[in-house]
Amino acid sequence: MTTQQTTSSILVTRAGPVTTITINRPHARNALDAEALARLGEALDAFDRDADAAVGVLTGAGAGFCAGADLKAIATAQTYTAWAGDLTGMLGAPRSKPIIAAVSGHAVAGGLGVALYCDIRIADETAVFGVFCRRFGVPMSDGTTVRLPRLIGESRAMDMMLTGRGVDALEAREMGLVREVVTAGEALTQAQALARDIAAFPPLAMRSDRESLLAAHGLPLEAALRQEAQLAETAKHKEAAAGASRFSSGSDRHGTVTKDT
């Protein structure tokens, strides 16, 4: 069953367990003004609360993913307010469910931050990533200075941060910034297919493993291992025994996944 919720700047569609959120400002290269930013945050929160939604896909309408903050809107403001970097903000702490970015065209400045907020990125051959706000004196206040080096290493991240150069899809894949590069126009289709595959797994273990990975940064090894064990407890009690039973009976050994009910 497919459901859809629409606003002028953000489109939300759910098909089964996959929720697709589209930034719908193609006239501005999907740059986020205050209204669009608020609607995007609401859409992400609603996805996280939806018991029937397992995996999200985030994309942009038209030929671009997101050009970051709308500089025209910033130019009319008295001060620049960081629109994403606050832990209580839209791109602060991760949501509880995985999100895949489907990137076509530019994912630059704050749009790079939006892509980095997602757990996995799939890019088509038109994709370009970069800190393009470098030339305008706008800081990366959207988590990029933290997430980018964790993904691609400090040396490569520093190069992108200081030079503001564009990184095409193939270089982004080589860096580990994106999972795969697909034909132009196919990023959303491939991201939704991957989302369906992930949604087919028993959810408790998948989400606890994801949370452990995200929360382990900066922790000493012993603390990280204790945290992993704590996060795994619910899945051990509610999913692991049934999964082991399926394995023993020969089920789910060749890519087919059966969810416990």
- CATH label of the domain that carries residue 28: 3.90.226.10
Asked if residue 253 is part of any domain, the answer here is no
Q: Are residues 217 and 90 in the same domain?
A: no
Q: Are residues 68 and 50 in the same domain?
A: yes
Q: Are residues 138 and 80 in the same domain?
A: yes
Q: From 86, 64, 141, 77, select the one nearest 109 (Cα to Cα).
A: 141
Decide: residue 5, CB within 10 A, 0-12 exposed, 13-18 middle, 19+ buried: middle
Residues 1-20 have pLDDT tens digits of 565 665 689 999 999 999 99
| Of 184, 199, 214, the domain-final residue | 199
Q: Are residues 133 and 190 in the same domain?
A: yes
End-to-end alpha carbon distance in the chain: 19
Q: Angle 107-113-115 (CA atoms, 0-180°, nearest 5)? A: 55
Q: Are residues 135 and 213 in the same domain?
A: no
Q: Which range has the worst mean pLDDT, 73-77, 126-130, 252-256?
A: 252-256
Torsion angles phi and psi, residue 27, rounded to 5: -65, -20
Question: Sign of dihedral through CA atoms 163, 168, 173, 179?
Answer: positive
Number of domains the chain is built from: 2
85 vs 180: CA distance, rounded Å: 27
**Mean pLDDT computed over 126-130:** 98
Asked if residue 209 is part of any domain, the answer here is yes
Which pLDDT does position 89 carry in this prediction?
A: 63
Label residue 261 by pLDDT band (50, 70, 90): very low
Asked if residue 12 is part of any domain, the answer here is yes
Q: Are residues 234 and 183 in the same domain?
A: no
Asked if residue 33 is part of any domain, the answer here is yes
Q: Are residues 63 and 100 in the same domain?
A: yes
Question: For every residue of 133-161, which 3-state class applies, written as one string?
Answer: HHHHCCCCCCCHHHHHHHHHCHHHHHHHH
Domain that holds residue 192: 2-199
23 vs 97: CA distance, rounded Å: 19
Q: Angle 100-209-172 (CA atoms, 0-180°, nearest 5)? A: 35
Residues 178-230 have pLDDT tens digits of 999 999 999 999 999 999 999 999 999 999 999 999 999 888 999 989 988 98
Within 13 Å and on the Cβ side, how many CA atoms surround 16? 8
Label residue 232 by pLDDT band (50, 70, 90): confident
Asked if residue 258 is part of any domain, the answer here is no
Q: Are residues 61 and 121 in the same domain?
A: yes
Q: Are residues 121 and 193 in the same domain?
A: yes
Q: Angle 29-116-68 (CA atoms, 0-180°, nearest 5)? A: 25
Q: In what order do the strands lie in the sheet with 128-130?
A: 106-108, 128-130, 167-168
Which pLDDT does position 15 carry in this prediction?
A: 97
103 vs 130: CA distance, rounded Å: 13
Q: Are residues 127 and 229 in the same domain?
A: no
What is the signed CA dihedral for 121, 126, 132, 133, rounded to 10 degrees? -70
Q: Are residues 156 and 193 in the same domain?
A: yes
Q: Are residues 44 and 111 in the same domain?
A: yes
Asked if residue 260 is part of any domain, the answer here is no
Asked if residue 254 is part of any domain, the answer here is no
At position 224, the amino acid (one-letter code) is: A
Asked if residue 92 is part of any domain, the answer here is yes
Contact (Cβ atoms closer than 8 angstroms) between residue 178 and residue 127: yes
